[in-house]
Amino acid sequence: MSTEKIPYKIYLTEDEMPRAWYNVRADMKVKPAPLLNPGTGKPMGFEDLTPVFCDELVRQELDNDTAFFEIPEHIRDFYKMYRPSPLVRAYCLEEKLQTPAKIYYKFEGNNTSGSHKLNSAIAQAYYAKEQGLTGVTTETGAGQWGTALSMACAYLGLDLKVFMVKCSYEQKPFRREVMRTYGASVTPSPSDTTAVGRRILEQFPGTAGSLGCAISEAVEVATSTPGYRYVLGSVLNQVLLHQSVIGLETKAALEKYGVVPDMIIGCAGGGSNLGGLIAPFMGEKLRGERDYQIIAVEPKSCPSFTRGTFAYDFCDTGMVCPLAKMYTLGSSFMPNPDHAGGLRFHGMSSTLSQLYHDGYMEARAVSQTDVFEAAEYFARVEGILPAPESSHAIRVAIDEAIKCKETGEEKTIVFGLTGTGYFDLVAYEKFHNGEMKNYIPSDEEIAASVAKLPKVE
Ligand SMILES: *Cc1c(COP(=O)(O)O)cnc(C)c1O
C-alpha cells in the first residue's frame, strides 16, 4: 500500500491501459438468457443475427465463456486520443459535504462526444470496417450515441445514417449539427422514410418519438441496404464488453494506491456504463474473492429495475428486434415528455438484469428535480457540468456520503461520471426556472404496457 497522498486525479500511463476487455458473463453461474427470434421463439444463433449485426460483434454477443477479448491495436490507438480517463478523488465534494466518506469518480466526458459511448462506438465501427461494410445505421435519443458513432465512423471512413428521436432532433439542433460535422446523415424518427416509421406515425400521429421507434427504423434500413449493418449503443452484451475498459481502468488506478471501494454506483439507462464500470469488481464478487455494494440508479419516470418485470420483451416499439429477457416496463411504455433527464429506455441489459435478479446488485430510483439539484451542487463544487444521466449517480453518491456523515463510517464510494451536460442546458433551464416536473408513472400505466409483453414459453 502506497503512503503517498492520493492525488486529485489518478491517471494511468498508456502502458498501463487495458489490453483486453473483460466479459463478466464468463464468471456468471447463471448466464443471461439468450436472445429469442420473435417469430419462432427459438434462441438466435450466429446465422440469425449476422444479417443485422457485424459478424465479430455477433460472436462477442453470443460468447458467454471467454473471459478476455484482446482489444485490437487500432482501437487501442484510438482510445489513446482520449483515454485513459481520469479517476478523480472528489476532495472538494467531501469537504463541502463534511463527510468522512472517500469519494472517487471515473470521468468519461473528456472527449468531443461528451460521454462514455465512444468506447463502444469505435469498437463497433472498427469491426464493421474490418468486415468490408460501407456503412452502419443506428438510433440516438439524447444524441450522445449518435455523436460518438459519427466520430468513430469519420475516423474509419464509414457511412452513417442516424435516426434521432424526433423531440431530441427538434430540441437539440446542436447535437444534430455535431453529427453532421462528422459526416452522418440524421433523420428525425418516426419518419416516413421507412415502413415501420409510417406504421408508427399512423398509429400515434404527432408522436414525439422514442428510442424504441428509432431502433425499428434503423434496423429496417440496415437490413434492406446492401453493405450495411445496424449498431446499438447500449443494452447488448457486446456493448457492456467494450465498456469494461471503464471498470478495468478504474480498478487499475485504485490498485496503484491500494484503495478498495466499498460501494460502486452508476446510472442505468440500458446498462452499458454501469455494466462496464462494475465488470471487474463484479467478476471478483462472482468468483467469491471480494464483496462490493453495487447500486444502479434510474429515473423514477422510467423505473425498469425497481418497478419493471423480469421477462422476455422486444427491445423496440416496432417489434422487429429480437426478444431479450430483461427487467422491462414493456416495449410500448413511453416515458412522459416532461422527463428531461435521459435514461429513457423501457428495458435493461440482460446481463445486468440477471445479476440484479440473482441479488448481486441493487437499484434505486430517483426523481428528476433531486437529480438536477445534485447536478448543480456538483457543478459548483467539483467544477464539471455533468450530464443529467450521470447526475443520477451523483445524487445517490451524495446521499450515501451524507449517510456516512451521520454514522461516522469512512466508506469508499466510487461512481461513474459518464459525461458532460453542455447539450442539456434546456433541461437545466427548466430546472432553474422552477418549471421541472417530477412525473411518476402510475401502477396502472405500467401494468398496461406490461400486459402487452410477448407470450414466451
Ligand atoms: C447514454 C448515456 C447514459 C446511459 O446509457 P447506459 O447504456 O445505461 O450507460 C448515461 N450517461 C450518459 C452521459 C450517456 O450518454
Which ranges constitute the DSSP H helices of 210-308?
A: 211-224, 237-256, 272-286, 304-307
Bridge-based pairing of strands 159-165 and 185-189 is parallel
Q: How far is the CA of 269 from the centre of ligand 1 (A)?
A: 6
Residue type, 43: P
CA distance 153 to 155: 5
For the segment 373-392, the average pLDDT, to the nearest whole number, is 98
* Residue 433 in this model has a pLDDT that exceeds 60: yes
Q: How far is the CA of 5 from the centre of ligand 1 (A)?
A: 32
Assess whether the C-beta atom of 148 lies below 6 angstroms from ligand 1: no
Assess whether the C-beta atom of 268 lies below 6 angstroms from ligand 1: yes
Q: How far is the CA of 141 from the centre of ligand 1 (A)?
A: 10
Assess whether the C-beta atom of 275 lies below 6 angstroms from ligand 1: no
CA distance 270 to 2: 37
Residue partners of 89: CB distance under 8 A and separation at least 6: 6, 7, 8, 9, 10, 102, 103, 104
Question: What SS3 class is residue 416?
Answer: strand
Assess whether the C-beta atom of 109 lies below 6 angstroms from ligand 1: no
Residue nearest to atom 5 of ligand 1 (CA): 269
Inter-helix orientation angle 425-432/368-382, to 10°: 100
Whole-number pLDDT of residue 342:
79
Inter-helix orientation angle 118-130/144-156, to 10°: 40
For the segment 157-186, the average pLDDT, to the nearest whole number, is 94
For the segment 245-254, the average pLDDT, to the nearest whole number, is 98
Assess whether the C-beta atom of 234 lies below 6 angstroms from ligand 1: yes
CA distance 78 to 119: 9
Assess whether the C-beta atom of 236 lies below 6 angstroms from ligand 1: no
Whole-number pLDDT of residue 141:
85
- The answer to whether the CB of 382 falls within 8 A of the CB of 92 is yes
Assess whether the C-beta atom of 421 lies below 6 angstroms from ligand 1: no
Residue nearest to atom 13 of ligand 1 (CA): 419
For the segment 74-96, the average pLDDT, to the nearest whole number, is 98
- The answer to whether the CB of 213 falls within 8 A of the CB of 190 is yes
Q: Which of 304, 303, 306, 325 is nearest to 314 (CA)?
A: 325
Whole-number pLDDT of residue 192:
96
Assess whether the C-beta atom of 117 lies below 6 angstroms from ligand 1: yes
DSSP annotation string for 139-174: EESSSHHHHHHHHHHHHHT-EEEEEEEHHHHHH-HH
Q: Which of 446, 423, 447, 276 is nearest to 351 (CA)?
A: 276
Average pLDDT value over all residues in the chain: 95
Q: What is the pLDDT of residues 349-361, one digit of tens each?
A: 999 999 999 999 9
**C-alpha 94 chain-centroid distance:** 27
Q: How far is the CA of 393 from the centre of ligand 1 (A)?
A: 11
Whole-number pLDDT of residue 177:
94
For the segment 357-386, the average pLDDT, to the nearest whole number, is 98
* Residue 425 in this model has a pLDDT that exceeds 60: yes
CA distance 265 to 294: 6
* Residue 443 in this model has a pLDDT that exceeds 70: yes
Q: How far is the CA of 268 from the centre of ligand 1 (A)?
A: 7
Q: How far is the CA of 389 from the centre of ligand 1 (A)?
A: 6
Assess whether the C-beta atom of 272 lies below 6 angstroms from ligand 1: yes
Q: What are φ and ψ of residue 108, in 5° steps?
A: -105, 10
- Residue to mutate, 85, 105, 116, 378, ligand 1, most ligand atoms under 8 Å from C-beta: 116
The region of weakest confidence among 9-13, 37-41, 396-400 is 37-41
For the segment 332-342, the average pLDDT, to the nearest whole number, is 79
Bridge-based pairing of strands 20-22 and 309-314 is unpaired
Q: How far is the CA of 1 from the centre of ligand 1 (A)?
A: 34
Query: Band of the pLDDT at 3, cuts 50, 70, 90?
Result: low
* Residue 245 in this model has a pLDDT that exceeds 70: yes
**C-alpha 238 chain-centroid distance:** 12
Assess whether the C-beta atom of 348 lies below 6 angstroms from ligand 1: no
Q: Which three cell numbers stand for residue 127?
A: 469491426
Q: Report the residue count for the chain.
A: 457
Sole residue written with cell 438484469:
353
